[in-house]
Amino acid sequence: MRLRSAAKLLSLVILSVGLITMFIFLTRAQSPRQKEKPKGPWMDKSLSPDKRADLVIGQMTLDEKISLLHGGGWKELLGGPDTLPTRSLGGAGFIPGIPRLGIPDLQMSDAAVGVARGAVFGRYATALPSGVSEASSWDLQVARDYGALIGSELRDLGFNMSLGGGINLTREPRNGRIFEYKGEDPILAGKMVGAEVKAEQEQGVIGDIKHYALNDQESGRTFANVKIDTRAMRESDLLAFEIGVKESGVGAVMCSYNLLNGDYACENKYLLTDVLKKDFGFQGFVVSDWGATHSTTKAALAGLDMEMPGNEHFGDALKKAVENGEVLMSRLDDMLHRILRTEFAVGLFDNPPGRKVPDIFAGFRVAQRVAEQGTVLLKNANGQLPLQALSIKTIAVIGSHADIAVLSGGGSAQVDPPGGNAVPTPSGTAPFFGGVVWFPSSPLKTIRAKALNAKVEYNAGTDPASAAGLAKGSDVAIVFVNQPASEGGDAPNLSLPENQDQLVSAVAAANPHTIVVLETGGPVTMPWIDSVSAVLEAWYPGIKGADAIANILFGDVNPSAKLPLTFAKSEVDLPHPMLTMQPPPGPGDMRPFFPDAPSKENSRRFDIVYDEGLKVGYKWYDAEGKEPLFPFGYGLSYTTYAYSALKVTPGQAPAVTFTVKNTGARGGAEVAQVYVALPQADGEPFKRLVAWEKVQLAPGEAKTVALTLDPHYLSIFTADKSAWELVPGDYKVLVGGSSRETPLMGTFRVKGGR
């Protein structure tokens, strides 16, 4: 009886704690929206967002205006639930609203690959595949689904602003944040992030595109001065931002840590005002990366609108600058106007988020589809894949904790793993910066579920000889290998860490039917490539990654993904063979949370010279005559495709038509790519991607693809005129299945002088 009573008492205690936790979850951050709404004229929904913003600004005091332009500081962000402001949800940033005017709290969350920091109040958010996996789909509908899910889960968790939307091009393939981004081509990256962020904002939250601009490596990111000429930046990195901003109508752009041609990005007038706000027509607001604000007057006049997460520069210092005339009231009101018109435009005033439990199963469906559409088949010798479940008797699954988990990327993008890290880490290891986080998704389990008649055994891969022994006695060996990556650091090289190359070589020597599954943040070298039969690039595949991998291995899904970035054979083939590292850190200039925090000492600045200029990714390999391991746009299928009947029609927007036929026995999807080589007079010794279409084809089916080429994507940027121009002359059109496989060729001419 005593034991039964004790158990009952314990149950009541647990229930009470659960109810208290739920009460905190439901009541925390309840904003003034629950009270009677203000009846000011700015609440008239028939008015434009711009008019409504101006009306509410007219009612604000100077102190109220300043309060909306900065966060509460690092202590508030890092102190944990007990130190948060009353209404904060514990996301990456919080700015309290103004109840008397109906201005809502701004609740920000990192959301590059799902809503981050969900464990602050025990919340759940879907851990999506990495951004580079999304980009590998080359599918704008996949991007829309990705963004819509993030937007809906942000709302469900009470957030109203995303800090996702990473779009920095892969200039440095060892960059620790490649997994967040969309590859190396500005048009592919721009259109994918544009579709993603537009869908995200359609859910009623403010979207964000970052890191503006040329923050292409983590090493020394807060004091590296990127040096690049105007034409090169406008036709590469800034073109990606231009497309993303224009196609999404994004509400916020986050300026980056680094300097650009001598000025910090967050106080760079050319970047923020001349290009973003004037040339791109951006109507939203510029928010600093966390700790990337370095001044008050210079930053405000250059175009920065919001300092995060603190108030060192845009708090009392900004108020003083306005009062003494250094910053005009008109500029202050412009900052407020951009923020408030964005809040009105996405519906924060009229339809604020209502907190509820996210639809977990909807998240699972999207996560699995993205992983299936984003996993790239890199090699498939002798039709090794798909595996025939009925005929295989023994399978060896080896390495990378494939018995219990799949890898994720770290840093501010880290989505909390359900139930905690599936692979225990050493105590004291930071879970976001430096700690490796694994999601509970078991490839071993899903492979066993597919191969019901086979004996499927697992080996951890820590001893290559032991792994080779298991592989030798198996029909097939599937080796999982990984490359952890995180914000705050770069990979020292492109090799797989912890002797995994030796593991693959040992297993391949023991079994000719060796399949390698890569879980990486970006490209890696493969010294064993000729000795294995198949290679799948799964990237960081998300919470349903194991299911997606198994579906592709066994043919339930026909792979259709294409690489959004180039895989080099070796570091010597890169524009910068040696990673540009930061100088030794100086004393007293590190802030909490960020391992490479902003320094106030200009003496630590160093230059990164982008002497490759326009030659980013595949353009570098084309121009330099280098052979990649796997080229941009490359990806295999379980069927084959043929291209024919190219027709090019010149005009203001040239038209291209061609036929794609499925010549195999399985249905599939081919990403048909169109490249154009500009006239020699333009000075670009390479072709550029200008259009593509993903074509679904049944066995034996042929379809005609008709694409119109955007003149903007055919133009060059003339720095002395600060304008885009079409170069007169002959343009070569190349069509095919990758940047290095373009069987169709045509031309068109642009007439006129420059």
Task: Kindly list the catalytic residues.
Answer: 289
How crowded is residue 163: how many other Cβ atoms within 10 Å of its Cβ? 27
Q: Which two tokens stand for residue 673?
A: 């790519």
Cα(171)–Cα(31) distance, rounded to whole angstroms? 43
Which of these, 143, 130, 152, lies nearest to 358 by C-alpha position?
152
**126 in helix, strand or coil?**
coil
Please work out, in degrees rounded to the nearest 5, the angle formed at the alpha carbon of residue 501 by the alpha carbons of 497 and 506: 140
CA 124/CA 646 separation, integer angstroms: 50
Which helix (H) or strand (E) covers residue 98, if one does? none
Q: Kindly write down the DSSP assignment for every residue of 271-284, as one continuous string.
A: IIIIIIIIIS---S
| Assigned token pair, 294 | 């370095």
Total Cβ atoms within 10 A of residue 148: 20
Helix (H, G, I), strand (E, B) or coil at 643: strand
List 516's β-bridge partners, or say none: 479, 535
β-partners of residue 730 are 749
How many CB atoms within 10 Å of residue 652?
A: 8
Phi-psi region of 722 (alpha: psi -120 to 50; beta: other; left: phi over 0): left
Q: What is the largest CA-CA distance in the chain?
A: 97
Identify which of 201, 171, 175, 204 has the alpha carbon closest to the alpha carbon of residue 186.
171
Task: Give the CA angle between residues 53, 59, 64 to the nearest 5°.
Answer: 90
Running DSSP on this structure, what letter comes out for residue 530? G
Cα angle for residues 687, 692, 696 (degrees, 5° grid)? 145
CA distance 143 to 138: 9
Q: Which amino acid is at 550?
A: A
User: Residue 458 — left, alpha, or beta (φ > 0 → left; ψ -120 to 50 → alpha)?
Assistant: beta
What tokens were used for 620? Answer: 């570098």
d(CA 291, CA 145) in angstroms, rounded, equals: 32
Distance CA 659, CA 697 (A): 11
Which H helix or E strand runs over 646? strand 641-649
Q: Six-digit token pair at 95?
A: 């700015």
| CA separation for the pair 302, 288 (Å, rounded) | 12
The residues with which 748 forms a beta bridge, in sequence order, are 731
CB atoms within 10 A of CB 1: 5
Crossing angle (nearest 10°) for helices 186-201 and 140-156: 40
CB-neighbour burial class of residue 87 (10 A; exposed 0-12, middle 13-18, buried 19+)? middle
Residue (of 484, 528, 551, 545) closest to 379 by Cα position: 528
* Secondary structure percentages of the chain, helix, strand, coil, to 5: 35, 20, 45
DSSP states of 189-215 as a string? Answer: HHHHHHHHHHHHHTTTSB-EEEEETT-
Query: Which residue type is seen at 499?
Result: N
The partner residues of 662 in beta bridges, in order of sequence, read: 641
Question: Starting at the edge strand that comes first in sequence, how are the strands of the sheet with 93-95 ordered?
Answer: 93-95, 106-109, 161-162
Spatial distance between the Cα atoms of 442 and 339, rounded to a whole number of angstroms:
44
The structure tokens 């333009």 sit at 682
Radius of gyration of the chain (CA): 26
Contact in structure between 620 and 575 (CB atoms under 8 Å): yes
